[in-house]
Homo-oligomer: A and B are copies of this chain.
Amino acid sequence: MVYQQPAYGYANVSERARQPPALAISTVIFALRPDPETGRPALWLPLVRRIREPFLGMWALPGGPLGARESLQEAAAGNLAQTTGLTPKYLEQLYAFGGTDRSPSPRVVSIVYWALVQPDEAALSRQDENVRWFRAPAVGELAFDHNEIVGYALWRLRNRMEYGSIAYAFLGDTFTLAQLREVYEAVLGRELEPANFRRQLRAAPDIEATDQYLQGGRHRPPRLYRYTGALLSNPAARSNPATQPNPATEQ
């Protein structure tokens, strides 16, 4: 509205903005760990403590700058490994947050990723003075607009769960149907009928029964299953719509 500006020009970015906004990559990490009260699997996420101003001492999402030779995805993965020691099974872009008032003085645009890790991996992760796991969604007051970001990530997680193959990212290579159901229950926040859940999963195409059973329980040993489908849904990984035939012209 103010600028007299040619139609399109990346090259112009630095000409105009004296202080171009800084770019940061952050990640919301989710894992299932037992609830201290009920003992049942529940959602947790790790946060790191700010060791400099602004918001010094407060908890925040792990993150950092974008390396010159890293893609956004690589930056998220790399920074995650550094700050928390985690290498997630699932890592996908969540949203780019770029409000003008989300950080004092130098303006920061954050591209936020969200990750899902398996419980055993989560148990290995570093935990010290500056890294701690919190039970979602009760994470207290966070630095910047990170409460809003965590809320949005939770919403997306639940949304994806309803029509997506995302639950398997919380689990190991093989799993019982009860374990898979507990993932759904923990994320969706409600109980599911075990019998109906089993029926639906038997109809799912890319879940495959192994010939192994999980021993050790005080009851009939459950069969182990394996997921054979794909997990990620990046723009690069999606099926290409442009090459699909037009059904309206067929038949």
Which A residues contact B (CB, under 8 angstroms)? 1-3, 5-14, 16-24, 48-53, 60, 62-72, 78, 81-83, 93, 95-100, 103, 106-109, 111, 130-131, 137, 148-149, 151-152, 154-155, 158, 163, 185, 189-191, 235-236, 238-242, 244, 246-248
Contacts and interface: CB of A to CB of B under 8 A. Distances in A.
Contacts of A106: 10-11, 14
A76 to B, nearest CB: 10
A98 B111 contact: yes
A140 B24 CA distance: 34
Contact of A7 (B83, B93, B148, B152): B83
B148 A235 contact: yes
A13 to B, nearest CB: 4
A66 B103 contact: no
6 contacts: A3-B82, A8-B64, A13-B66, A20-B22, A96-B111, A155-B239
Contacts of A137: 241-242
Nearest to A49: B7
Contacts of A50: 8
A20 B20 contact: yes
A14 B61 CA distance: 20
Contacts of A53: 11
Contact of A93 (B21, B82, B96): B96
Contacts of A190: 246-248
A58 B125 CA distance: 49
- The residue among A2, A109, A191, A247 with the most chain B CB atoms within 10 A of its own CB is A109
A108 B20 CA distance: 12
A16 B65 contact: yes
Contacts of A108: 10, 13
Contacts of A242: 137, 151, 154
Please give me the 4 A-B residue pairs with the lowest Cβ-Cβ distance, nearest first. Answer: A72-B98, A152-B235, A13-B65, A190-B247
Contacts of A95: 93, 235
Given A1-B78, A10-B108, A72-B96, 13 more contacts: A5-B82, A7-B48, A7-B62, A7-B131, A8-B48, A8-B51, A8-B83, A9-B52, A10-B22, A14-B106, A16-B65, A23-B109, A95-B235
